[in-house]
Amino acid sequence: MSNSDQSAQHPVIVWFRQDLRLADNPALLAAVNTGAPIICLYVLDDKTPRKWLRGGASRWWLHHSLSALAQQLEALGTQLVLRRGDAFDVVTGLADELGARTVFWNRCYEPFTIARDSRIKAHLRDRGCAVETFNGSLLVEPWNLTTKDGRPYRVYSPYFRALAPHCDDIAPLPRPSLIADGSKGVHSDALSLWGLLPSSPDWATGFGPVWTPGEAGAWQRLERFCEEAAKDYSDTRNLPGVEGTSRLSPHLHFGEISPRQIWHYAVRHVPAGQGRETFLKEIGWREFSYNLLYHFDDLPDSNYQQKFNGFPWHFEESVFKRWTRGQTGYPIVDAGMRQLWQTGWMHNRVRMIVASFLTKHLLIDWRRGEEWFWDTLVDADLANNAASWQWVAGSGADAAPYFRIFNPVTQGEKFDGSGAYVREWVPELKNVPDKFIHAPWAAPAGILSQAGVTLGEDYPRPIIDHSKARERALAAFSSLKDAA
């Protein structure tokens, strides 16, 4: 679109969504290139299906991310316009209000977002508005990467082999140096009145020290990770007591940094090797999850493998509650659940352990875990959350075989041998010697009392015996096989 297409009095709306950044932002850059005055808009849309409305932890992040974006925009001479309501009404209404002839945004991929956005797009176009949408969040969009016979990939390895060649010649877009302000006199809600931050009680006090939401914070993480940890990533990423992962997930979810920027930067700043390869494959997993959600839009709510529809889950409120609170009596599980509660994030290795524990030891439906994570994770992401829970439960695409039931003691000993992670998050066990830190019930009475621990008082006894739980899970799985 050339400058002459736009007369100066018609502003361009850039609708920010999950792309809260200035660099490598195709919608924003396209708007800047029109030469017209720009209105940067964010809509807090409460019309999302109730179940998948942003959870509490994610709202905390959103608040700070919007605040960071607003500051960046101010530095470039414009304000971020905040509006709340049904996105259809807000976007089409604002276009009317301002006489905007052009609206740009970067695409989102949740099923309900796709439906909502196509209605908005159709309506605006009917009104003579030019609408253009862009890919700002994925390396390759789902409809552009299929098998040779045009079907969606359902297995990760071939998917990644097909994806990787597309990523070599990625060139992230520049950050605009100036934005022509179209926001003068346009009403914006006050961010502080959106109530995104928790109060009474403020349960997010543990978040602040750990996270810096916003584009600058995202780049700090990426640069530091590539400098320090990336080359050893394939080993250290499994150790929850070590700062071995990138912790980019919330930044990625909110689009404070794009996967294209990450890929491009990692390839140039991390020496080729196993660490880099494994890291890029993780970025690939995110794409694969989006690919799955796009092609199987029921992924967050229904078993991908339908034979799981007959799985004998049995839900018990008190048992579920102990899992959520980190009171199962298995230290590595409890450490993970408490890290999640206190910081809005859990190490990936531990996510697998607690998810396996919920679905296989406790036989609680993966959807209960998915909902809990949705509410408590700062990186809560519909595609990743759904695909990963189904993967662990065994009901998903390319899922873990049924007999892969994590032993929480073995996993703890293997990946948190010194017990540093458990001691950080389950401080009542901090004086238990390494040898028993992952199985305090197996410690001789004298050692426990010396460590100041009385099982059942200071720390719970195991909620279920591992071997029995394992047998029970295997039996449940074989009942599935018989039914099928």
Partner DNA sequence: TTTTGAGTTGTTCGA
Partner DNA sequence: GTCGAACAACTCAAA
Q: What is the CA radius of gyration of the chain?
A: 24
Pick the piece of the chain touching DNA (CB under 7 A) from 4-12, 224-232, 269-277, 404-412. 404-412
- The answer for residues whose C-beta is within 8 angstroms of residue 350's C-beta and 6 or more apart is 240, 332, 335, 336, 339, 421
Per the CB < 8 A criterion, the answer to whether 100 and 94 are in contact is yes
Query: Which listed residue (444, 446, 467, 482) binds DNA by CB under 7 A?
Result: 467
Per the CB < 8 A criterion, the answer to whether 331 and 438 are in contact is yes
- The answer for residues whose C-beta is within 8 angstroms of residue 199's C-beta and 6 or more apart is none
Per-residue interface string for the shown chain with DNA, residues 266-305, x marking contact by CB under 7 A:
---------------xx--x--------------------
Q: Does 400 help bind DNA (rule: CB under 7 A)?
A: yes
Structure tokens at 404: 């892969």
State residue 341 phi and psi, 5-degree precision: -65, -40
Query: Which listed residue (118, 147, 418, 479) binds DNA by CB under 7 A?
Result: 147
Per-residue interface string for the shown chain with DNA, residues 310-349, x marking contact by CB under 7 A:
--------------------------------------xx
Per the CB < 8 A criterion, the answer to whether 404 and 359 are in contact is no
Q: Is the peptide bond before 201 cis (omega within 30 degrees of 0)?
A: yes
- The answer for residues whose C-beta is within 8 angstroms of residue 407's C-beta and 6 or more apart is 466, 470
- The answer for residues whose C-beta is within 8 angstroms of residue 302's C-beta and 6 or more apart is 309
Q: Does 159 help bind DNA (rule: CB under 7 A)?
A: yes
Query: Which listed residue (158, 273, 312, 452) binds DNA by CB under 7 A?
Result: 158
What letter does residue 418 receive in the DSSP assignment? T
What is the side-by-side order of every strand in the sheet holding 130-134? 80-85, 38-45, 12-16, 102-106, 130-134
Structure tokens at 450: 């010396």
Structure tokens at 373: 């994570």
Q: Does 238 help bind DNA (rule: CB under 7 A)?
A: yes
Residue 143 Cβ vs DNA, minimum distance, rounded to whole Å: 15
Q: Does 403 help bind DNA (rule: CB under 7 A)?
A: yes
- Shorter beta-carbon distance to DNA: residue 212 or 348: 348
- Shorter beta-carbon distance to DNA: residue 60 or 357: 357
- Shorter beta-carbon distance to DNA: residue 149 or 317: 149
Among residues 33, 135, 348, 431, the one annotated as catalytic is 348
Q: Does 468 help bind DNA (rule: CB under 7 A)?
A: no
Query: Which listed residue (71, 306, 309, 410) binds DNA by CB under 7 A?
Result: 410
Among residues 33, 141, 203, 285, the one annotated as catalytic is 285
- Shorter beta-carbon distance to DNA: residue 68 or 283: 283
Q: Is 348 an annotated catalytic residue?
A: yes
Residues of the shown chain interacting with DNA in the complex, contacts defined by CB under 7 A: 147-149, 151-159, 161-162, 238, 281-282, 285, 348-349, 352, 388, 391, 398, 400-407, 410-411, 414, 466-467, 470, 478
What are the catalytic residues? 282, 285, 313, 348, 366, 389
